[in-house]
Chains A and B, each alone.
Chain A
Amino acid sequence: MPEPFLELVDISKSYPGVVALDHVGLAVSPGEVIALIGENGAGKSTLMRVLGGVVEPSGGTIRVDGAERSALTVAEAIAAGIAFVHQELNLFDNLDVAGNVFIGREPVHGGPLRLIDRKALYARTQPLLDRLGTDFAPDALLADLSLAQRQLVEIMKALSLEARLVIMDEPTSSLTLSETDRLMRVIAGLKADGVSIIFITHRLNEVMQCADRAVVLRDGRMVGALTRAELSPAAMIRLMIGRDLKSLYVPPAAPPGEAVLDIVEAVTDTYPERPVSLSLRRGEILGLAGLVGSGRTELARVIFGVDPLRGGVIRLEGDPIRVASPRAAIDHGIYLIPEDRKGCGLLLDVSIAENISLPDLSSYLRFFLVNTAQETENARTQRERLKIRAPDVGTTVGSLSGGNQQKVVLAKWLSMRPKVLIFDEPTRGVDVGAKQEIYEMLRRLADAGVAILMISSDMEEVIGVSDRIAVMHEGAISGFLDRSQFSEHNVLQLAVGHAVEMRVP
């Protein structure tokens, strides 16, 4: 192993009342892939911000190429070859790929006019594209690229800055399986070129796939480092939460009942020629797997009345219903926990209590006015029930962690009487502990007679939580799997449109 070029020694960072980092050490050698894992709030992001020069540590030293200093500035971090690929990409929709890669560093000509030298711009972008093996041109408009392609643009930007270390913050959280695969290949390519990678992730199978070692943080402390040989999901989870995680799957209390929601030949705007049929049964968790863009979210939006149903019938307990708006769906007892929690699920700078009561305000009426006492009381009940960790129900939702925010979205619907619950990526950006609590809640709801549809791109989740899996491919259902047929292989086969060999794996 070559000498480390970057070393963090005894880094601490405390904010009044909270220790975010407690004597954490980390050394990065050229061409090394390090996975940084830990629950939300464990200090991963703070540590990376120290590396990026955004946060000044309260103690410890940073050694870059042997030179010691107590903190980095952003400029020093860039000069040291440290580049960030953020979870929320910092790119410009209205520029092309080359314009994004060289933003602020555009080659110019024309003397004092400083006109952009487009030829040079494209010529300098092309080698980067070749290096990553991308399928788009330097003059492709960013707005036309998929999320995964945009991420590659961000990586190109890092490479154009001669980065020696690329830090990726949950790079795969919104990627499809095949896109994730490609990213893993890109990471391997960078590694071969001697570029080091630190990636933060919640997906342990990716760590297994590409990391040389894993560093685990918990409550601001480094609780363990696993070498390649020691890596296993069980070991990682044990370190992350400090205890063993039980096997995910909890079987239902009773066999599934009759169909609650029947979707017959439903047609969406996105895939007008591919009608979808499926039924949700009482007490059953139906996992809906498939690649991103296979039409799962579109189906959810149609059932919930966000988008219009272009054909087919939706039947609730046998009766055909018309769902023209989310209001209508909610009145029928069909609720959606949307994928985009911050954009669609919550009012971020509004209190927990007001978020919870929002869909059902009319039942808090007292002489036409909102009964805030009742509202607070109900919110408190839900907070207990879902173990929402917040000082008070008056806390604004935006200050909560991802897992607790998701619980607030859930609490909105649990205060009412759900018949059908649709979860779209229920645990995206949610830490391991809260994930487990959400899974337990799913099972309890199902056992209480709710029909559940769970859209998920997380393979562990689909296989570990569902009672039955439906897989979508290009807008249509490509197959159903019973528990006996569950395997990563079978789900993937259906997701890419192949048939499944019907053997018990």
Chain B
Amino acid sequence: MNKKDLSLLVLILVVGAVVAFINPRFLYVGNLSNTLNQVGMFGIFSIAEAFVIIIGGIELSVGSVIALLGVIFIDLIVNHDVNWVIAVAAVIAGGLVIGLVHGALVTRMHIQPFVVTLCGLLIYRGAARYYTEDATAGFGFGASFPTLEWLTAGRTNVLGFPLPHSVIALVIVAGVAWVLLHRSVFGRYLYAVGKNEEAARYSGIRSERVMISAYVICGGLTAFAAILFAMYTRSISPAVHGSFYELYAIAAAVLGGCSLRGGEGSIIGVVLGTVLLQVLQNLVNLLGIPSSLNFAVMGAVILIGVLADQYLVQRRHHVSPAKGRGQTSVAAAPLERVKVE
């Protein structure tokens, strides 16, 4: 855990303590369990987003993909009697294909990721609404898929605490993503491409493939999140389902230390960022702040967080020459550079 993650954790604990102090209901088992369930679902697609941001891209269609794949998923199992295992596989495959298309458009056709995924945002939202003729897609009365429901939206009692399965899913996803990003060769390549694509290519990294893989991973994880959301809400109105979720994802990634220029960010940070956003969401509800201010509160906290971080970085920079005392043997060359920065 790096310094940035640690300070984010402290921030979460402080905010949590303040909320708990003002309204003890924050710590009620039911409330915590519900908040954690949100963290689980939002965390998964935030990690998805982080993969793309780390290679220096952006994915704006997350919310629309969650809506489109969600209605397709419900339609498959409710109206077409498709076995849910097959439906899950089909939806995940759909997410992977969307990622592949985005990645190919960005790398082969050289369209800016912002533009590609903005078009995706519009197209998938429209497709979702057209697919259900703008009607709400949901499970009919009596429709029941006990295993699927237990797996996706169920909770397991752990020492008396009803732990949502979405959180377990997040822990698994985050664990795998952490190893992949921070320990594997592929992770190194992701960061290298995000930092300097040209240098990565000159080092023999097939940077286009790496970039496409990031979009594909993002698509697959988003599809997974789409299934969790569909099973959680049980009914989807395609015009609003998942809207603005891409912004939650980007916010979590930025809070978690990802740079929109690419090449930076940690999985722990992204998960903590998601936790903070959900705690804030909860805070608005619990402190009786009008829910219309929801986004304003979130925006303000993110802004303050980023400002504080910037301030700390500058201060650290200011102090750093003293730390350099042990390095006098490096000659004066690096010093000239310090002055430029």
Q: Which of B198, B206, B336 contacts A46 (CB 8 A)?
A: B336
Contacts of B183 in A (CB 8 A): 369-370
Of B179, B200, B202, most buried by chain A (CB within 10 Å of CB) is: B202
Contact with B along A38-49 (1 / 0, CB 8 A): 001111011001
Q: Is the CB of A344 within 8 A of B328?
A: no
Known: A326-B202, A327-B205. A347 touches B188 (CB 8 A): no
Contacts of B324 in A (CB 8 A): 15-18
Q: Is B329 an interface residue (CB 8 A)?
A: yes
Q: Is the CB of A343 within 8 A of B188?
A: no
Contact residues of B between 154 and 191, Cβ < 8 Å to A: 179, 183-185, 188-189, 191
B135 CB to nearest chain A CB (Å): 47
Contacts of B203 in A (CB 8 A): 326, 330, 358-359, 412
Contacts of A225 in B (CB 8 A): none
Contacts of A358 in B (CB 8 A): 188, 192, 200, 203, 205
Known: A18-B335, A20-B336. A354 touches B188 (CB 8 A): yes
Of A304, A336, A338, A368, most buried by chain B (CB within 10 Å of CB) is: A368
Q: Is B201 an interface residue (CB 8 A)?
A: yes
A349 to B206, CA, bound (A): 21
A19 to B338, CA, bound (A): 14
Q: Is the CB of A219 within 8 A of B339?
A: no
Q: Is the CB of A344 within 8 A of B202?
A: yes
Q: Is B321 an interface residue (CB 8 A)?
A: yes
> Count the B residues whose beta carbon is within 8 Å of the partner chain — how many?
38
Q: Is the CB of A391 within 8 A of B329?
A: yes
A36 CB to nearest chain B CB (Å): 14
Q: Is the CB of A41 within 8 A of B336?
A: yes
Binds B, one of A24-32, A174-182, A393-401, A473-481: A393-401
Q: Is B334 an interface residue (CB 8 A)?
A: yes
Contact with A along B201-244 (1 / 0, CB 8 A): 11111100000000000000000000000000000000000000
Q: Is A463 an interface residue (CB 8 A)?
A: no
Q: Is the CB of B322 within 8 A of A16?
A: yes
Q: Is the CB of B198 within 8 A of A343?
A: yes
B108 CB to nearest chain A CB (Å): 14
Q: Which of B184, B189, B202, B328 contacts A338 (CB 8 A)?
A: B202
> Count the A residues whose beta carbon is within 8 Å of the partner chain — how many?
54
Q: Which of B179, B196, B326, B335 contacts A20 (CB 8 A)?
A: B335
Q: Is the CB of A55 within 8 A of B321?
A: no
Contact residues of B between 304 and 328, Cβ < 8 Å to A: 321-322, 324-328
Q: Is the CB of A326 within 8 A of B201?
A: yes
Q: Is A390 an interface residue (CB 8 A)?
A: yes
Q: Is the CB of A43 within 8 A of B332?
A: yes
Q: Is B331 an interface residue (CB 8 A)?
A: yes
Contacts of A369 in B (CB 8 A): 179, 183-185
Contact residues of A between 471 and 489, Cβ < 8 Å to B: none
A358 to B186, CA, bound (A): 11
Q: Is the CB of B185 within 8 A of A344?
A: no
Q: Is the CB of B333 within 8 A of A41?
A: yes
Q: Is A346 an interface residue (CB 8 A)?
A: yes
Contact residues of A between 37 and 83, Cβ < 8 Å to B: 40-43, 45-46, 49, 54-55
Contact with B along A395-409 (1 / 0, CB 8 A): 000111100100000
A343 to B202, CA, bound (A): 10
Q: Is A386 an interface residue (CB 8 A)?
A: no
Q: Is the CB of B339 within 8 A of A55?
A: yes
Contact with B along A343-356 (1 / 0, CB 8 A): 11111111000100
A115 CB to nearest chain B CB (Å): 33
Contact residues of A between 321 and 368, Cβ < 8 Å to B: 325-327, 329-331, 336, 338, 343-350, 354, 358-359, 361-362, 364-365, 368
Q: Is the CB of A20 within 8 A of B206?
A: no
Closest to A346 in B: B199
Q: Is the CB of B333 within 8 A of A40?
A: yes
Q: Which of A20, A349, A359 contacts B332 (CB 8 A)?
A: A20
B185 CB to nearest chain A CB (Å): 5
Contacts of A46 in B (CB 8 A): 332, 335-336, 339
Contacts of B330 in A (CB 8 A): 389-391
Contacts of B335 in A (CB 8 A): 15, 18, 20, 41, 46
Q: Is the CB of A348 within 8 A of B196?
A: yes
Q: Is A306 an interface residue (CB 8 A)?
A: yes
Contacts of A326 in B (CB 8 A): 201-204
Q: Is the CB of B202 within 8 A of A350?
A: no
Closest to B201 in A: A326
Q: Is A220 an interface residue (CB 8 A)?
A: yes
A17 to B328, CA, bound (A): 6
A336 to B179, CA, bound (A): 31
Q: Which of A346, A362, A399 contacts B185 (CB 8 A)?
A: A362
Q: Is B195 an interface residue (CB 8 A)?
A: yes
Q: Is the CB of B333 within 8 A of A401?
A: yes
Contacts of A55 in B (CB 8 A): 339
Q: Is the CB of B337 within 8 A of A347?
A: no
B208 CB to nearest chain A CB (Å): 9
Contact with A along B108-145 (1 / 0, CB 8 A): 00000000000000000000000000000000000000
Contacts of B321 in A (CB 8 A): 15-17
Q: Is the CB of B336 within 8 A of A325?
A: no
A390 to B330, CA, bound (A): 6
Q: Which of B185, B325, B334, B336 contacts A361 (CB 8 A)?
A: B185
A479 CB to nearest chain B CB (Å): 30
Closest to B336 in A: A45
Q: Which of A41, A306, A329, A343 contacts B196 (CB 8 A)?
A: A343
Q: Is the CB of A400 within 8 A of B199?
A: no
A55 to B198, CA, bound (A): 34
Q: Is the CB of A347 within 8 A of B204?
A: no
A330 to B189, CA, bound (A): 16
Q: Is the CB of A344 within 8 A of B325?
A: no
Of B201, B322, B324, B336, most buried by chain A (CB within 10 Å of CB) is: B336
A16 to B322, CA, bound (A): 6
Of A18, A325, A329, most buried by chain B (CB within 10 Å of CB) is: A18
Contact residues of B between 266 and 285, Cβ < 8 Å to A: none
Known: A219-B332, A369-B184. A347 touches B195 (CB 8 A): yes
Contacts of A390 in B (CB 8 A): 330
B312 CB to nearest chain A CB (Å): 18
Closest to B338 in A: A15
B64 CB to nearest chain A CB (Å): 34
Q: Is the CB of B328 within 8 A of A399?
A: no
Q: Is the CB of A370 within 8 A of B332?
A: no
Q: List 27 A-B contacts (CB under 8 A).
A: A15-B324, A16-B322, A19-B332, A20-B332, A20-B335, A41-B331, A41-B333, A41-B335, A45-B336, A55-B339, A219-B331, A306-B202, A329-B204, A343-B196, A344-B199, A346-B199, A347-B192, A347-B200, A358-B192, A358-B200, A359-B204, A359-B205, A370-B185, A389-B329, A391-B330, A399-B337, A404-B333
Instruction: Known A-B contacts: A46-B336, A344-B202, A369-B184. Give 10 more (CB < 8 A).
Output: A18-B328, A304-B202, A325-B206, A329-B204, A358-B205, A359-B204, A368-B184, A369-B179, A369-B183, A391-B326
| Chain A residues within 8 Å of B, Cβ to Cβ | 15-20, 40-43, 45-46, 49, 54-55, 219-220, 304, 306, 325-327, 329-331, 336, 338, 343-350, 354, 358-359, 361-362, 364-365, 368-370, 389-391, 398-401, 404, 412
Nearest 3 A-B pairs (CB), nearest first?
A41-B333, A401-B333, A330-B204
